[in-house]
């Protein structure tokens, strides 16, 4: 049965551990319920003349700064169905469950995305990525309800305009669709992607030269667990900032000053510089500003050290942005959705 709750706490729906409320909470677990939710949202739009709602996933990419005086919509659609080398997955399924299941089924390509928190629906919105692989590499199509019309539609990958942590769902399609399921396409041949970060060195520590898909997944999980705090212990949203992509001329200028500066070539004209490295160079790793802090093992991660408000985390974010800009002349932006 569709959930329809008033004055609902979102504490269980954000990994930062912020206890904010919304005026109304709607959760759908089927196409029929999603159509009901869409109708409620259309009625609200008619009466208010605006869009008084937001759509959330697992809350692993969300920072709440205040109570939300509107409707929060969440998907509980679940179920993973195989069709050849594709998996159709409910938008409310955990994305990491999809990765685990694909490997068990002999379907490959998602190993480097292991242990990324969040739901399937969010993978299509955010274009999640890690260690050289992005969700867009796997997504074939998305089934969704268009809120304005109540039509159920299929959206192809090519329509989504995917980019680094971007899609049309975050821009002109924001709050336009209720995602029901995502279809991922895999390979039935395992071709490991090892030339990113410290994957090879971690495999070597285990004496593995030619990993199986499960061995690669296990390695990715170990790497992530060594860098990222458990949100049940220390509230966080994983990587808080996007890694900036800069012109090669800017990279060359900085490389002349910092010989050890890590980077990843995007194309002939563009280079990606890890935001975490720059934050670390500014001396923020392990430091705090009030009850908000920077993780001591990964400077890209902002944490709630206990009782921090969303405003405190935003204040820390802005201070870090200012310091990085002053030291490197580069703007860094949150990957996290701030509300």
222 labelled catalytic:
no
Q: Comparing 73-82, 152-161, 206-215, which segment has the lowest mean pLDDT?
A: 206-215
Q: Got the DSSP string for 251-313?
A: HHHHHTT-TT---EE-SSSEEE--HHHHHHHTT-TT-EETTEEE-SS-TTEEEE-SS--HHHH
Question: What's the DSSP call for residue 78?
Answer: -
- The candidate with the shortest Cα–Cα distance to 165, out of 117, 196, 129, is 129
Question: Which residue among 27, 143, 239, 312 is the active-site one?
Answer: 239
What is the pLDDT of the chain when averaged over all its residues?
A: 94
Q: What is the pLDDT of residue 51?
A: 63
Residue 21 near residue 9, CB atoms below 8 Å? yes
Average pLDDT value for residue range 63-73: 94
Average pLDDT value for residue range 239-254: 95
Question: Which residue among 111, 183, 202, 335 is the active-site one?
Answer: 335
pLDDT at 131 over 80: yes
pLDDT at 334 over 70: yes
161 labelled catalytic:
no
Taking the C-alpha atoms of residue 108 and residue 2, their distance in angstroms, rounded to an integer, is 35
239 labelled catalytic:
yes
Question: Which residue among 86, 165, 222, 305 is the active-site one?
Answer: 165
pLDDT in tens, 75-122: 999 999 999 999 999 999 999 999 999 999 999 999 999 999 899 999
pLDDT at 209 over 90: no
Average pLDDT value for residue range 243-252: 95
Confidence of residue 197 (pLDDT cuts 50, 70, 90): confident
SS3 12: helix
Residue 133 near residue 112, CB atoms below 8 Å? yes
């Amino acid at each position: 049965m569709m959930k329809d709750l008033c004055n609902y706490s979102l504490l269980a729906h954000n990994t930062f551990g912020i206890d904010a409320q919304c005026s109304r909470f709607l959760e759908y677990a089927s196409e029929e319920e999603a159509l009901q939710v869409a109708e409620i949202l259309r009625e609200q739009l008619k009466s208010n003349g605006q869009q008084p709602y937001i759509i959330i996933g697992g809350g692993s990419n969300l920072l709440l700064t205040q109570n939300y005086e509107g409707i929060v919509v969440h998907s509980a659609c679940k179920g993973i169905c195989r069709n050849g080398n594709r998996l159709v997955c409910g938008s409310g399924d955990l994305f990491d469950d999809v990765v685990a299941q694909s490997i068990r089924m002999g379907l490959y390509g998602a190993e480097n995305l292991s242990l990324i928190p969040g739901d399937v629906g969010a993978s299509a919105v955010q274009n999640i990525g890690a260690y050289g692989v992005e969700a867009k590499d796997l997504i074939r199509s998305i089934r969704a309800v268009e809120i304005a019309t109540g039509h159920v539609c299929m959206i192809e990958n090519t329509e989504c305009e995917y980019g680094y942590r971007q899609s049309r769902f975050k821009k002109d399609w924001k709050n336009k669709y209720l995602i029901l399921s995502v279809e991922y396409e895999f390979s039935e041949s395992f071709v490991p992607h090892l030339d990113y970060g410290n994957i090879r060195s971690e495999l070597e520590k285990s004496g593995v030269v030619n990993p199986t898909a499960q061995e690669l997944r296990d390695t990715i999980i170990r790497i992530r667990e060594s860098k990222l705090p458990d949100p049940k212990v220390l509230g966080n949203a994983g990587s808080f900032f996007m890694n900036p992509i800069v012109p090669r001329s800017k990279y060359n200028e900085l490389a002349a000053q910092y010989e050890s500066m890590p980077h990843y070539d995007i194309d002939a004209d563009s280079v990606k510089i890890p935001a975490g490295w720059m934050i670390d160079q500014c001396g923020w790793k392990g430091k705090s500003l009030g009850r908000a802090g920077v993780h001591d093992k990964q400077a890209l991660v902002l944490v709630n050290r206990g009782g921090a408000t969303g405003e405190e985390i935003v204040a820390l974010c802005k201070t870090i942005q200012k310091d990085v800009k002053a030291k490197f002349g580069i703007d860094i932006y949150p990957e996290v959705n701030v509300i």
